[in-house]
Every structure is written in structure tokens, then in C-alpha cells.
DNA sequence: GTCTATAAGACGATAGAC
DNA sequence: GTCTATCGTCTTATAGAC
């Protein structure tokens, strides 16, 4: 036991700095989720990470900067996951639908901070025009990614080549957010299979369009 | 011009008290929407209403109480409106759908505080178990009202008597919230007719279910 | 790079004059 | 019923010791 089981050698200065920064960002995400942007103090964040405010201010210049960095580090993860689920063309439509439903349940029930942070980011963005544009761009790229996946999948099956996949993507995205928020408020409101069922209805109805 | 054109007589003490309270609540709604619950100060609210903090504290015992009262006074309005639209059985399905779409656009584009306050209420509730139950109950009653309306309308047309209207209501509610948030972030993301289109797909797909 | 100590101000809420 | 004045606390951010 030389104390080196987990780390092959001492961390360089740059590495410890990056590690502290990451610890602070993780702590900040938790605290922002628990208390909100305005309700969280810099002291709360530093203490949660095991440091002091003085240490935090060597890594970030303000509370706002911490928040924006948390946002940047937490984006993309979950919705890339969603696109992966839909893009897995090996599974049957039934499997895809149940995977979609499972994602809603998993996010709402297990990723306790997700919906909270999402709401905090949204409010922060709506109140700051510059940041709002940033968030809009992100939504747009999520929608575009989903649109491409839907179109590819439809083409593979040789059907619905001219369907309004972009509008459908927007609906699926909005419905995901809405259902996660609802289930987070009360799990009984959103049955485990609902997201998959709803998308089934959407696809069927869209295919039968006049 | 005796200065009595608008008011037939002087307000009683109780009436001025109620009026001040209402002014404070309106101002509070605006300020909470603009700055959030934690970001808004009691001074901001009182000043917006044209009073001082001392006056505010004769009507409310704390900032929390003001917030809860704002929530109570602002609930129900918009979603009752939604139920009215769907329950108007005189109009054709096409008219109903376009009215639904218009509601999303109207709320997102014109009722500037609606989505902000909704998000603030949700965050406040999720962080306070007692209030969370209250919000869940409200969601449930909105869903039930919509479910009843959908079932009544379907019965009138003599179709889909055994359809899962409760699940459909939940989906329509979640989608409404999601689309309003999305359109508030960037109007270009949500075409004016999208909510109606999506519900058309949902109804058609549901009717064709196996 | 992280600490302690502190500056300068904003905050929620109360007391007493009018 | 509303005002002014004020208390004590908590806030963000900085300066200097280690």
C-alpha cells in the first residue's frame, strides 16, 4: 500500500487545477438545482465542493460565470442520448417506443437535477437576450439532429419520404420536456409507457395524413 | 366635473385595503416574472405597486406569502380557457385545432409573464414537498377537466368511446407547456399551426389503434 | 492555489410616527 | 393603512497571509 493504487503519479499543477475546477462545477450544478441561480450563494457552492469562496474566485470571475459554465458542461448529454435511442435502427418500432418511454421515466425519476437545471437555464436565458439566442440555437440543433435521424429511419423503411419530420421533431422535443416536468411533479400523472404511446399515435396519425 | 365619473362614491376602508392588496399582487406577479422568486426583493415589489415595504407587510407576512398568493390568484385562468376551446362542440374539428394552435401562440407571444411565472411556480413547488402536492393536485384537476371534455365530445360524435382519453389529456397538457416554452425561446421553432397539427396526428393515430 | 479576513452593500422584516 | 428609519444578517467580491 504505497497509496498509488488509483493514481500512477502525482498530479501536475495544471491537473489539480482542472480537477478543482471540475469539482466546483459539479458542486455548483447540485447547488443551483437545489436553490436556484439567485438563491444559491457562492459560499454554498464552494462549501459543497469542499473549498472556500476565495478558492472559487481563482477559477471563476463571478457567480454568473460559474452558472454559464455549468450550463455549457451539462448540455447535450441527455438529448444526444435520446437521438441515439431513435437512431438505433436495429430495434423494432416497439423497442424504440419503450426505450423512449424509459428515457422519460429515467430522467424524471433518477436524474434528480436534470429538470431543475433545465428550468433554471431556461429562466436565466429568457431574462438575458444574448443567452436566449444561445439556448435557441441549441434547441434548433437538437431538433435538426432528431429530424435527420427520423428521416434516415423512414427512408430505410421506404415510407413517408415527404413527411414533415422537422415539425414532428419539434413536437417530440416539446412533449419530452413537458412529460418530464409533469412526472417530476407527480409520477402518477405520467404512466411509464406514455411517451412511447404518444409517439406511436403521432407516427400513425402522420402516416395517415391527407 | 366633480371627480366622481369613475367611482359613484368614496371607497370604504375595506375596499381600499382590498384594492391595495390587489395592486400589490399584480406588481408582485410582474416582478416575480422579471426577476424570479429569489431574485425579486420586497422593495422591488412594493415600489412597482407604488408603495413601500412597510405597507406591504400590513397585507402579507412574508415574501413567501406574497408568492403563494400570486400563484393562487393566477392559476386556472389559461387552462380553463383551453378547456373551453375544446369543449365548444359547435365548431368543426378544424376550427378546434386552429383555436388550439392560436392559444399556444397567444400565450407565448402576448402573455409575456405566463411561461415565466409557470416555471417559477414549478421550481418553487418542486423544492417544497407540501407545495408540490398542491401543484400536482392542480395538474390532475386540469387533466381531469380536459378528459371529461374529450370524452363528452367523442360521445356526441358516437366514436372512440373506449379511447384512453386520460392519457391523451396528459399528452396534450404536457405538449402545450413544452410548445409554449419552446416558442417563448424562439418563435421560429414553433410554427403557428403546430399544436393543432400535432393534436390532429394524435387523434388520428389514436383512432387507428389496434 | 487555497486560505482567512474584510469591505461595501442589499436583503427581509420590524417599530414607531403620522 | 402607509410612511420613514433602522436592526441584524447575509451577500458578492477582493486583499493579503501562507
CA B147/CA B165 separation, integer angstroms: 5
CA B121/CA A18 separation, integer angstroms: 37
pLDDT tens column, A39-57 = 999 999 999 999 999 999 9
| Protein-proximal positions, strand C, CB < 7 A | 1-5, 10-16
| Protein-proximal positions, strand D, CB < 7 A | 1-5, 10-16
Closest CB to A205 among B127, B136, B205:
B205
Q: Can you give the pLDDT at residue B188?
A: 98
B41 CB less than 7 Å from any atom of strand D: no
Query: What rounded mean pLDDT belongs to chain B?
Result: 92
CA B50/CA B27 separation, integer angstroms: 9
Q: How far does the CA of A23 sit from the C1' of D18, in Å?
A: 23
Q: Can you give the pLDDT at residue A1?
A: 43
Q: Can you give the pLDDT at residue B5?
A: 47
Contact A187, A193 (CB under 8 A): no
Contact yes or no for B38 and A34 at CB 8 A: no
Nucleotide showing the shortest C1' distance to residue B57 CA: C13
Q: Please give the share of chain B, as a percent, with pLDDT higher than 70.
A: 95
A107 CB less than 7 Å from any atom of strand D: no
B67 vs A89, residue with greater confidence: B67
**CA nearest to nucleotide C5 C1': residue:** A54
Q: Can you give the pLDDT at residue A203?
A: 95
Searching chain A, which residue's CA lies closest to the CA of residue B115?
A: A123
Contact B43, B53 (CB under 8 A): yes
SS3 per-residue string spanning chain A: CCCCCCCCCCCCHHHHHHHHHHHHHHHHHHHHHHHCCCCCCHHHHHHHHCCCHHHHHHHCCCHHHHHHHHHHHHCCHHHHHHHHHHHCCCCCHHHHHHHHHHHHHHHHHHCCCHHHHHHHHHHHHHCCHHHHHHHHHHHHHHHHHHHHHHHHHHHHCCCCCCCCHHHHHHHHHHHHHHHHHHHHHCHHHCCCCHHHHHHHHHHHHHHCCC
Q: Can you give the pLDDT at residue B84?
A: 86
The answer, yes or no, to whether residue A86 has pLDDT greater than 70, is: yes
Q: How far does the CA of B49 sit from the C1' of D3, in Å?
A: 15
Partners of A37 on chain B (C-beta within 8 Å) are: 36, 38-39
The answer, yes or no, to whether residue A27 has pLDDT greater than 90, is: yes
Q: How far does the CA of A117 sit from the C1' of C9, in Å?
A: 29
Contact yes or no for B208 and A209 at CB 8 A: no
B61 CB less than 7 Å from any atom of strand D: no
Q: How far does the CA of A46 sit from the C1' of C4, in Å?
A: 15
Which of B129, B175, B190, B200 to substitute to test the interface with A, most A CBs within 10 Å?
B175
CA A197/CA A209 separation, integer angstroms: 18
Structural domains of chain B sorted by starting position, each given as residue range(s) with its CATH number in brackets: 13-72 (1.10.10.60), 75-207 (1.10.357.10)
A53 CB less than 7 Å from any atom of strand D: yes
pLDDT tens column, A143-162 = 999 999 999 989 888 877 78
Instruction: Read off φ and ψ for residue B109, nearest 5 degrees.
Output: -90, -35
Average pLDDT value for residue range B32-53: 98
Nucleotide showing the shortest C1' distance to residue A46 CA: C2
Contact yes or no for A119 and B116 at CB 8 A: no
**CA nearest to nucleotide D14 C1': residue:** A54
Nucleotide showing the shortest C1' distance to residue B61 CA: C13
What pLDDT band is residue B78 in, cutting at 50, 70 and 90?
A: confident
Amino acid at each position: 500500500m504505497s497509496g498509488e493504487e488509483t493514481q500512477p503519479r502525482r498530479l501536475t499543477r495544471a491537473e489539480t487545477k482542472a480537477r478543482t475546477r471540475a469539482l466546483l462545477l459539479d458542486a455548483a450544478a447540485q447547488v443551483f438545482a437545489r436553490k436556484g441561480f439567485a438563491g444559491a450563494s457562492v459560499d454554498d457552492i464552494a462549501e459543497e465542493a469542499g473549498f472556500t469562496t476565495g478558492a472559487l474566485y481563482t477559477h471563476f470571475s463571478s457567480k454568473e460565470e460559474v452558472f454559464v459554465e455549468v450550463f455549457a458542461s451539462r448540455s447535450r448529454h441527455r438529448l444526444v442520448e435520446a437521438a441515439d435511442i431513435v437512431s438505433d435502427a436495429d430495434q423494432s418500432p416497439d423497442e424504440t417506443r419503450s426505450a423512449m418511454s424509459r428515457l422519460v421515466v429515467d430522467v424524471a425519476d433518477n436524474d434528480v437535477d436534470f429538470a431543475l437545471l433545465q428550468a433554471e437555464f431556461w429562466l436565466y436565458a429568457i431574462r438575458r437576450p444574448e443567452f436566449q439566442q444561445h439556448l435557441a440555437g441549441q434547441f434548433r440543433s437538437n431538433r435538426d439532429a432528431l429530424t435527420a435521424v427520423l428521416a434516415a429511419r423512414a427512408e430505410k423503411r421506404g415510407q413517408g419520404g415527404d413527411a414533415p419530420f422537422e415539425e414532428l421533431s419539434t413536437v417530440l422535443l416539446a412533449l419530452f420536456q413537458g412529460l418530464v416536468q409533469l412526472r417530476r411533479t407527480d409520477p402518477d400523472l405520467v404512466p411509464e409507457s406514455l411517451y412511447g404511446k404518444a409517439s406511436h399515435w403521432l407516427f400513425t396519425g402522420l402516416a395517415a395524413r391527407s
